[in-house]
Structure formats: structure tokens, C-alpha cells
Amino acid sequence: MHTTYKASDMDARILSWGHHELEAFIDLIDDYILIFDPAGLIRYANPAAYHRLGYAFPSLVSMPIECLFPDLLTDLTEERFAALTADKPILDTRRIIARDGKAIPVESKFCRGTWQGQSVCISLSRDISKRIDVEQALSESERRLSTLMSNLPGMAYRCQNNPDWTMEFVSKGCLELTGYRPDEFIDDRVVSWNDLMHPEDRRWVYKKVQETLSRQEFFRLVFRITTRNGEEKWVWEQGVGVYDPQGNVLALEGFITDVTEHQRAREQLHSENILLRSSMKNSYKFCGIVGRSKAMQKVFEMIMRAAESRANVIIYGESGTGKELTARAIHDLSERRNGRFVPVNCGAIPENLIESEFFGYKKGAFSGALGDKPGFLDLADGGTLFLDEVGEIDANLQVKLLRAIEGSGYTPVGGRRVRHPDVRIIAATHTHLKELVDKHRIREDFFYRIHVIPITIPPLRERKEDLPLLILHFLKTFGGDKDIGMIPQHIMRVMSNYDWPGNIRELQNVLHRYITLNKIDLNQTQPLRSANRDQNGAGLSLQRASTYSLPAALDYMEKQLILTALERQRWHRGRCARALGVSYRTLLRKMKQHNIDWHNL
């Protein structure tokens, strides 16, 4: 048979034990146990009291209790002492003084009992230092949270999941946003959030929120509200549901901020783009890009669509077709036009520097890091990052870039603070990225993140009808005040029949030389296509090399080999590198070493 005791019954039972039974029991307790007589002299202290207060045994015996509990005897009068029983203890919070003078906060219980035949007072005290620290930390956290909520440039909220969205909590930012105080939402019920929403937006907003909550996802919305003084505002809201274990929505929590100026800027941008669309069909130049062919009209239309969107863009095109010019046009027409346009040639960055170039570094991160240096992502924050030859980025960096642009952020080399950039990616490549995915050179998740809006720029040979416009444009651009005149018709026919492997860039250089030297020589853009470049070409090169020293001959032959490979691959550097069996970066380094400058051809 089991007996159940109340707390007071247990206290009385323990106090009825004999001296040795009681001492053996309290020696096991980890709290401070002190027994003192009516005169205030300590008769017994348990080992925990000696150990934790820093006293040697038995130095506490006969010590006045006031040494440990100052003012205790003032509080514990004779009347109160006489009234003490196990059923009527005194409970309070005070401080116990250790031997080194440290005051330890304790929660104490005082009751009367018998010790060695004498009426005594027994105190049990529990150290509450950690609890107080936690309470203070919680209080400080609540204070900081309250300060943050009060100073947010928007309105944080918690509301019930009902058609009126009845508010349970609203931050002080609601006053600036809506004109209503928090208590008018919560206590007085003067207004509900549903009342503030524009009548045309209420139904679709509520439907969208409910659909999102059913999937247990967070929602993001842009809609209109009407403030207390009748002003119409555009707001951006992000929220999430609070669910019970069964998946039922208990409440909604989120944040709402004013985006009226941003929305008006988007509307103005949209209007400007409509005007551009109506005029670009009647013009041969669009954002610095020359062309009136159907192929280029499609490109212009895609530039407009990309500019209106916030999605990432991938631009396909051969070298020299104007991929960077297209990317800059998208940036200049987009809402990010006031931010920076940061172009990056991914194939030209040394592998050991690529991470520090993209993410920046802190002073002392490595030898030679004499100061902080921002990376490409820092520079493009709020703007556009143009990744030319994006297929040259290795898989490790693809993972880090993916995390950065998806919101997880990045840390500069040698830094600790995570940064979260607001960057739009426009990438470019001469090879279709899906082929690189199949070859495991591009990660599939990275591919889907940047391959959202594809734009393909046609090579010059596929839009020959634009050639006269381009020639006229470059002659005016390079000629300055000179009266150049038009190119003779027989030369125009030759240029029209030419394949232009270097595309617009090659045409620019041909015309630049024409203005400077007053002649057009297409062979100079392809030095290996001269009459000597026949079956005897290799012999001629070897004969010439034989007049050099061995190092000079090897250098000469290497240059000729690279030039031959470039010609065969139509000056496509990626294919040329693969044909030569070297990396893309090695080819660029060799071209620079031998002064084979594509831009000057």
C-alpha cells in the first residue's frame, strides 16, 4: 500500500526525524541548508553550504546567521519565529553572502523545527543566479525587440486567420504607414486590415494568402491600401502562417512596408518602355545597338521584356556579336539603372584569385592583403552583375554564387560577417549552357537559376541586311570631323560576301583601319588566309623559323600554331583551346604572350 503526502505533510514528517536521520538526509541536498537557534547562532550547515560559500568545516558553527543573511533577524522577529511551523513557512528572495563577500541571489524557505532537543529555525536556500541571468537576458532581448519593432520603417503584425485579419499585435510603424495607432487596431477595433485594402485588391489578396497557407509556404504580395487621410499607397507584404501540430492555421505573422515610390518608378519605366517599343521599329539604333533586320528586332523586343522583369538573363552569341552591349542595354532600361553595371570576364580571372575577386577580402586575409577590398558582388549590390563567358566558372564557385544570389549570402575571404547582396545576374556565353550541363561543367541548379530569360544574338553573317547601317554608323563614329565618304560599291560587295567570323568587333577594326590607312584589307583580320597560307604554308613557316635561335624558333612556331588553330575554329577561343588541348585560361595567356590581341584584329 502506497501513502501519498502533501508538501506540508512531508515537511512535518522530515522534521519529526531524529537528529542523525535528519543530518544524513540534508547532507545529500545540493541547496544551502542552515539551522540556527532563536539567538541567531548557526547550529548546523550542510556540506553544500560549506563548499559553495567557501568556508572550511566547521567554521560556520556558532557563526551569527546575519553574517550570511544580513538583516535576517530584523525581519524574523520573535513573534514571527514563534509563528513558524512546517505548514506556515516564510518564503522570500534575498542574498546570501559568501566568504569572499560575493552576494549570491537565493530563493529561501524558513520554518521551525527541533534540533538536538532545541527549538530551531531551518532555512533551505536555492541559488537562482542562472535563473536571474536568463530572466535579465530575456528582458533585454524583449527590450531590443521592442526597440527594433518601434523603429522599423514599416509595420510588423500578428493577426487571426479570418476574413477581417483581426490584429493581435501591431508594431508602432502602423501609425506612419496607415495613420492608425496600434490600439485602434487591437483594443478599440476602430479599423481592420481588410478595411484598409483597396476594394479591387481584397479578393485576390485573400485568395492568394489562403492558397499559400494551404501549402505551408510564406507569401509575398504587392497591393494597394487607403490610409486614414484617404491617401492611396502601394505596400509590400511578406508573411507566414503559424500552425498547430495538426497543420491548422492559428495565426499569420509578417511585415508590411510602403513601396509606393518604387511602384511609381516601375509604372514610369513601363510607360517609357512602351514608348521605346513604338519608336524602335522606325529607328536603326536601339540603346547603342545598330540594326533594322527582323533578327535584331526580335533581340530588341527581348531586351525590353528582360528590362521589365527582375529575372536573371542569359545571352547567347558568338564572340564579337555584342553580348556586353546587350547586357548593358537591359541594365540601363531596368529599374536597376541607378545601380552599377559590373562586367566580369569569367575566363580571364586566375583560378587562385577567383573567389577573392567575386567575394572580396578583408585586411590580413592572406599575404599581400594590405586592406579591405570589395568583390564583384559588393560592387554590383543594387545593380547588375554581368558574367561574360559564364561557362568558365568552376563548380565550387557556382555553389557559392548560387547561395549568394538565392539569399544565403556570402562571406568575404578572411571575414566573418555574412553579406546579403541585392544583385541581378546577366550571364553570357558562346556555348549553350545545356551542353555544359550534360558535360558536367555547369551544375544543373546553377543553370536553372541563371537560365531564366534567354536571348540569342545572331552573328553578322545571318543579318547582312544590317551591314550598310553598321558601316555608316562606324564611319561616322570613327571619322569625327573627317569627310570619309561611303565605301565604293565593289568593296561593299566584297564585304557583303565576306563571312565575318569576328562579327561586329571585326567590322569595327576593319573600318578603323580604313579611316586610318585609307584602304580596306580583309586579309589583315585573318592573317593566315593570305596566298602563302596554302599547302606550303607549314614549309614556309619552318623555313623562316630555321633562321632563329632554338628558343626564338619555338616561340615563333607556337605563335603560328595558335594562329592556325584560331583560323580553323573561326576565332572561337573556346573551341580553339579544346583543339589545342589546353585550358581556356592558358590560351588567353599564350595569346597575350604572343601579342595576338583579338580586339585589335
Residue 221 located in a structural domain: yes
Residues 11 and 73 in one domain: yes
- What's the whole-number mean pLDDT along residues 402-417? 85
Span 163-184, pLDDT tens digits: 778 888 888 888 889 999 989 9
Q: What is the rounded distance in angstroms from the CA atom of residue 144 to the CA atom of residue 481?
A: 67
| Grid cell at residue 503 | 562579327
Residue 500 located in a structural domain: no
Residues 270 and 253 in one domain: no
Q: Determine which of 6-10, 338-342, 529-533 has the lowest per-residue pLDDT on average.
A: 529-533
Residue 208 located in a structural domain: yes
pLDDT band, residue 146 (cuts 50/70/90): low
Span 185-198, pLDDT tens digits: 888 788 888 889 98
The total number of structural domains that make up the chain: 4
Residue 516 located in a structural domain: no
Q: Determine which of 77-81, 171-175, 334-338 has the lowest per-residue pLDDT on average.
A: 77-81
Write the single-letter amino acid at 357. E
pLDDT of residue 103: 92
- Provide the β-strand partners of residue 105: 95
- Structural domain containing residue 16: 7-127
| Grid cell at residue 331 | 541594365
Residues 359 and 235 in one domain: no
Residues 275 and 244 in one domain: no
Span 25-43, pLDDT tens digits: 667 778 899 998 888 899 9
Residues 391 and 438 in one domain: yes
pLDDT of residue 482: 62
Residues 16 and 101 in one domain: yes
pLDDT band, residue 531 (cuts 50/70/90): very low
> pLDDT above 70 covers what percent of the chain?
83
Sheet architecture: strand order including 453-456: 341-345, 384-388, 424-429, 313-316, 453-456
- Provide the β-strand partners of residue 429: 316
pLDDT of residue 517: 73
Residue 298 located in a structural domain: yes
Mean pLDDT of the chain: 81
Give the residue among 536, 501, 539 at the shortest CA–CA distance from 522: 501
Residues 78 and 210 in one domain: no
Span 226-257, pLDDT tens digits: 999 989 999 999 999 999 888 888 899 989 99
| Grid cell at residue 195 | 478595411
Residue 552 located in a structural domain: yes
pLDDT of residue 161: 82
Buried b (16+ CB within 10 A) or exposed e, 271-280: eebeebeeeb
Residues 57 and 23 in one domain: yes
Evaluate the omega torsion of the peptide bond into residue 488 and state whether it is cis, within 30 degrees of 0: no
- Provide the β-strand partners of residue 413: 361
Residues 287 and 407 in one domain: yes
- The CATH code of the domain that includes 27 is 3.30.450.20
Residues 186 and 221 in one domain: yes
Q: Is the pLDDT of residue 518 over 60?
A: yes
Q: What is the rounded distance in angstroms from the CA atom of residue 231 to the CA atom of residue 228?
A: 7
Residues 298 and 200 in one domain: no
Q: What is the rounded distance in angstroms from the CA atom of residue 391 to the CA atom of residue 349?
A: 13
Query: Exposed, middle or buried, 476 (CB in 10 Å: 0-12/13-18/19+)?
Result: exposed
Span 96-143, pLDDT tens digits: 999 999 999 999 888 888 888 888 888 899 999 888 888 888 877 777
Residues 325 and 204 in one domain: no
Residue 481 located in a structural domain: no
- What's the whole-number mean pLDDT along residues 211-233? 89
Q: What is the rounded distance in angstroms from the CA atom of residue 70 to the CA atom of residue 74?
A: 9
Q: What is the rounded distance in angstroms from the CA atom of residue 226 to the CA atom of residue 231?
A: 6
Span 569-581, pLDDT tens digits: 767 788 888 888 8
Residue 566 located in a structural domain: yes
Domain closes at, from 458, 488, 516: 458
- The CATH code of the domain that includes 570 is 1.10.10
pLDDT of residue 3: 38
pLDDT of residue 538: 44
- The CATH code of the domain that includes 336 is 3.40.50.300
- Statement: the pTM of the whole predicted model exceeds 0.75: no
pLDDT of residue 313: 95
Domain closes at, from 93, 127, 161: 127
Residues in the chain: 601
